Amino acid sequence: MMQVRSLILKMKVSGFLAVLALLAFQPAAGQGVPKLPCADADKACALRATKRHAVGKIAAWQAALSVPAGERIGPASPQLVEYINLDNILNGYPERPRAATLDAGLLADVKGAIADLPPEIWNLFSERLVGLYFVEGLGGTGYTDYVFDSSSKPVAAFVVFDAAILARQSANGWATWKENTPFKSAAGYKLDARIAADNADNRKNAIQYILLHELGHVLSVGADIHPPWNISPRDVVRGAKYPFFELSWTIDRKADQYRSLFDATFPQRANTVYYFGAKLSAADMVPAYVRLGNTNFPSLYAATRPGDDFAESFASYVHVVLMRRPWQITISRDGEVGYVFQACWGEVRCAKKQKILEQLLKRAS
């Protein structure tokens, strides 16, 4: 997710406090929800407050940027917690997040997930990622948002995770839960997602995949991959070039929406809604995935919006191609497999996207 929530911690670990001392803000002292400068339903106030908030300005993150990208992790600062609460007011989310305490086991899994990634990847994030921060009660698994320079151009991003949700996951359990959310459940229908081998089906690998997706959002910052997510489709600069976006998307300025180039033959796409209320029926599982196989989207979630198209593509590419991990959706009816959908890397349908990803990653090595 980006301005969308996908899955938090508490801080008593000594090595962790050493990192915190380097961060831009003071560590959270209390665990309560901060006193907010805006009332619960005052979206206009929340819009003003988020726009001028220090968390959205690169100057506030200089200390965080002075440590290696893969080490910028910790509980959300009081300022960041305030910002996320204001952002929830702005978006109408009922949750009021608070700073998380990182338990030692969860912190070890987060660090292990980071340590297992191809190390060169972090070269892509040295200037773009101000850090990975943890709250509880986010209203989603993870969330990435822009940090702007003095001319209001997005130049970096922070990633926030819900520690309580991360704490509960195993890799295939999390992926199966997520990939079922667009479909109403019905007797006899089953959709299984597999992103880890049986002997690696653990929390660390769930966190790693969730992290890769959010890193995909961070990588798009300032890279002309897709229009910025903080503007409406109708406000995208005319004539701006976004090579990755143009492989799958077009802008319907009149309707103020992004449309995929495949909508005429992929009617389920417009009704694909993750997390918040399924719109598709269980009987749509096979037709939706068959149609998806005729597009250049690497996953069904990628087909929901341009930002998640790139984030899913990045996560899937690193996971499947660079790390040689499994990625498969299996749809069954009454115990019989009806359709299997696999990652598209190496297939013609995703070749142009793969080329862009290869070029981006080449810069990392």
Site for Zn ion, rule CB under 5 A: 1-2, 308, 311
Closer CB to Zn ion, 50 or 144, in the complex:
144
Provide the 8-state DSSP code for 345: T
298-327 burial string, b = 16+ CB within 10 Å, else e?
Answer: bbbbbbbbbbbbbbbbbbbbbbbbeeebbb
Residues with Cβ within 8 Å of residue 76, at least 6 apart in sequence: 28, 84, 97, 99, 100, 133, 134, 135, 160
> Scanning the structure block, which residue is given the tokens 């999390």?
174
Triad 129, 311, 240: Cα angle to 5°:
85
Partners of residue 251 on adjacent β-strands: 258
Min CB(208)–Zn ion separation in Å:
15
Phi, psi of 97 (to 5 degrees): -65, 155
Min CB(66)–Zn ion separation in Å:
28
- In whole angstroms, give the CA distance from residue 174 to residue 132: 20
Which residue's beta carbon is nearest to the bound Zn ion?
1
Min CB(12)–Zn ion separation in Å:
30
Closer CB to Zn ion, 16 or 134, in the complex:
134
Min CB(135)–Zn ion separation in Å:
17
Min CB(144)–Zn ion separation in Å:
7
Closer CB to Zn ion, 2 or 129, in the complex:
2
Min CB(22)–Zn ion separation in Å:
28
Q: How many CA atoms lie within 13 A of 254 on its CB side?
A: 0
Closer CB to Zn ion, 143 or 345, in the complex:
143
Closer CB to Zn ion, 6 or 77, in the complex:
6
Closer CB to Zn ion, 16 or 301, in the complex:
301
Closer CB to Zn ion, 73 or 212, in the complex:
212
Phi, psi of 192 (to 5 degrees): -110, 135
Min CB(216)–Zn ion separation in Å:
7
Min CB(165)–Zn ion separation in Å:
15
Residues with Cβ within 8 Å of residue 300, at least 6 apart in sequence: 179, 182, 272, 288, 289, 292, 329
Give the tokens for residue 142.
Answer: 């993870």
Q: In 3D, which of 148, 163, 217 has the Cα closest to residue 4? A: 217
Closer CB to Zn ion, 284 or 312, in the complex:
312
